[in-house]
Chain A
């Protein structure tokens, strides 16, 4: 994966330098006060290489990912702006891509998006003009071929220089197809991929072995998603209620064996053990730490997991 930088951003430079990258996640607030974003950015700055700025995650109305990305970048935190296909058509998404690049965003992560029936506006009409793979390809063509989806050319200096992100979920079904879906994303132009939260390490290993076999890890950077379990209650909730998450019984048992007020600590310990295992796993280029509404724990976790100091690429 040598050659010219796609964006020249920090995340890309860290990954291309072969360092074990760390990304975090910053959920924009459900209001217009930018202080909330600045405060969360403060926890992430210096502890991660880039932070995903979510796009109305779980289909709940929040400050727009582009606005929050800009605020975070104002604090010195590199944004990985998320964009979902749920709310906008190809006109709006290409427009936002051009706008984000113009505002200095380096990374854009494309997702289908959580269905609106899970969110706070279940009455909404969804769009899905394009799916995530359509949009990844469209962005790649805008950047590398300098054309919009309709073939209209972008001037040389007007191409969006973005490092293209995508998501992968080894824990959804059908299991045998998950690596092929990731391949579709890599074929379409994804430069890096971040996984859904990993708890079932055995299944994750099987996925990565297949991804390596398919040559995907030679063509794109695969990052592993880690979310510490805060409590046994959270573990059970995620296991039972969140689609596409598998939590093995052994983990629940391990938390159960710890007093309630020490379960968060145990959850962090489990996450650090996972990170150790992931550092050594073939094809894994970094970890993606998802601590939504637990951002203040990021500094302690990256320190405990031995991920500091972050490299200066």
Chain B
């Protein structure tokens, strides 16, 4: 799923500077699961903003609303009654796909992203998330013992660990596992090392962002 993180408070307060009335919109999709932009986080952000305004001796009216998904026109439509110009700013707490949907549907509104998309990944433990995919559009993990060297190696190497792999950690950060240590351990144990040695993979990046913005059309689903 998409792992997102709230932007720094000073950036968010900058978005709403001088606004008396704002709407904070959450999303029940990925960002709820990763505790970044669900109903709970909407409530927290709105409260923080109200408190901040109060401290500065001014009032702030912050409404809260959480949609099923912001990346779906059907749910974005639920805001239509509210988008009559009453809000000086709309803070979207979806991943930044959400605010793009809001801005497109409600061109008069001033929509701001309250979250950054951090990466595509999953939880390692409660409160810890890690990157697992780079959306290159042509998955090859089966060639690497089930691990993704594209997203999980700092250099996206395809032929083994660089000279900076030390004690199972990446030279770029001691917090990060060297995915090549994991791959080598796995392919050595499962007997696929020979196949790996014979492999000569050159990535075709056309399916990745390098081919330009991507789009999928499924004819059977078109009405």
**For the complex, what is the distance from the CA of A187 to the CA of B171, rounded to whole Å?**
26
Contact A126 B158 (CB under 8 A): no
Contact B158 A172 (CB under 8 A): no
A86 at the interface (CB under 8 A from B): yes
Task: Find residues 146-188 in chain B having any chain A CB closer than 8 Å to their own CB.
Answer: 154-168, 171-172, 178, 181, 184-185, 188
- CB-CB nearest 7 A-B residue pairs: A169-B163, A243-B171, A243-B164, A133-B159, A244-B163, A181-B160, A131-B157
**For the complex, what is the distance from the CA of A182 to the CA of B83, rounded to whole Å?**
62
Task: Find residues 238-264 in chain A having any chain B CB closer than 8 Å to their own CB.
Answer: 243-244
**Given contact pairs A173-B178, A243-B164, A149 touches B155 in the complex (Cβ within 8 A):** no
- Which A residues lie at the B interface, using CB under 8 A? 85-86, 112-113, 115, 117-118, 126, 128-134, 137-138, 149, 167, 169, 171-174, 176-177, 180-181, 183-184, 187-188, 196, 243-244
Nearest-Cβ distance from residue B161 to partner chain A, whole angstroms: 7
B200 at the interface (CB under 8 A from A): yes
Task: Select one of A128, A169, A177, A196 contacting B155, CB under 8 A.
Answer: A128
B202 at the interface (CB under 8 A from A): yes
**For the complex, what is the distance from the CA of A192 to the CA of B155, rounded to whole Å?**
23
Supply 13 A–B pairs (Cβ within 8 Å), ascending by A. Answer: A129-B203, A130-B203, A132-B159, A134-B159, A172-B162, A173-B161, A174-B161, A174-B165, A177-B160, A180-B193, A184-B160, A196-B163, A244-B162
With a CB–CB cut-off of 8 A, which chain B residues contact A184?
159-160, 197
Contact B161 A115 (CB under 8 A): no
Contact B155 A172 (CB under 8 A): no
**For the complex, what is the distance from the CA of A113 to the CA of B171, rounded to whole Å?**
12
Contact A177 B184 (CB under 8 A): yes
Find the residue from B157, B159, B171, B178 having the highest chain A CB count within 10 A.
B159
Contact B202 A243 (CB under 8 A): no
**For the complex, what is the distance from the CA of A244 to the CA of B158, rounded to whole Å?**
19
Task: Select one of A129, A133, A134, A172 contacting B163, CB under 8 A.
Answer: A172
- Which B residues lie at the A interface, using CB under 8 A? 154-168, 171-172, 178, 181, 184-185, 188, 193, 197, 200, 202-203, 205
User: Majority SS of interface residues in chain B?
Assistant: loop
**For the complex, what is the distance from the CA of A112 to the CA of B188, rounded to whole Å?**
24
Nearest-Cβ distance from residue B154 to partner chain A, whole angstroms: 5
Nearest-Cβ distance from residue A290 to partner chain B, whole angstroms: 13
Nearest-Cβ distance from residue B77 to partner chain A, whole angstroms: 37
Find the residue from A85, A172, A184 having the highest chain B CB count within 10 A.
A172
**For the complex, what is the distance from the CA of A115 to the CA of B157, rounded to whole Å?**
12
**Given contact pairs A172-B163, A174-B165, A112 touches B157 in the complex (Cβ within 8 A):** yes
Task: Select one of A113, A183, A243 contacting B166, CB under 8 A.
Answer: A243
Nearest-Cβ distance from residue B65 to partner chain A, whole angstroms: 36
**For the complex, what is the distance from the CA of A85 to the CA of B203, rounded to whole Å?**
14
Find the residue from A86, A115, A117, A129 having the highest chain B CB count within 10 A.
A115
Contact A174 B184 (CB under 8 A): yes
Nearest A residue to B157, CB-CB: A131
Nearest-Cβ distance from residue A211 to partner chain B, whole angstroms: 15
Task: Select one of B154, B158, B188, B193 contacting A133, CB under 8 A.
Answer: B158
**For the complex, what is the distance from the CA of A176 to the CA of B188, rounded to whole Å?**
10
Contact B162 A177 (CB under 8 A): no
Find the residue from B155, B165, B188, B193 having the highest chain A CB count within 10 A.
B155
